[in-house]
Amino acid sequence: MVRPRALLPIRQTRSGDGWCDSSSHPAYNRPVRFPFEASAETMMRDDRLYDFVVILDWNVTSRARNRGSAIFLHIAKPGYPPTAGCVAVSPKDMLRLGPFLRRKARLTIKR
């Protein structure tokens, strides 16, 4: 995927990057590195869904256990099957959104 233009900080995902989804761990809903002792989602994926990810501020700034973690804006699977709580768009739409994404921006999600 072409790197989108964005006003957000951009960091290349590396092998070993993860996101802790274990609500009992101190790193809950935070980025982590593998190997990791608790449950965590792998950020470098063969299906390329996380080629461009925006971490949405759901339960990030003020974390609360069991309120959900890893709520991202990311690339959709073909056919747009449901996600596990994330927002997913086509690579083309992600490129179109990129220049509008910035800290404190509010996204309104409509079906």
Question: Token digits for 33?
Answer: 């590195």
Extents of the domains making up the chain: 17-100
Active-site residue, from 29, 53, 54, 74: 74
Residue tagged active-site, from 32, 75, 86, 94: 86
From CA 16, how far away is CA 54, in angstroms rounded? 18
| Amino acid 102: pLDDT | 86
- Using CA atoms, how far apart are residues 74 and 96, in angstroms rounded to an integer? 13
Q: Is the pLDDT confidence value at 69 over 70?
A: yes
Q: Is 20 a catalytic residue?
A: no
pTM for the whole structure: 0.84
Tokens of 85: 């709580």
> Across the chain, where does the E strand assignment appear?
17-20, 31-33, 40-42, 54-55, 72-75, 87-89
pLDDT of residue 90: 94
- pLDDT digit string, tens, across residues 12-65: 889 999 999 999 999 999 999 999 999 999 999 999 999 889 988 777 777 878
25 catalytic per annotation: no
The 10s digit of each residue's pLDDT in 74-99 is: 999 999 999 988 999 999 999 999 89
Structure tokens at 49: 């869904």
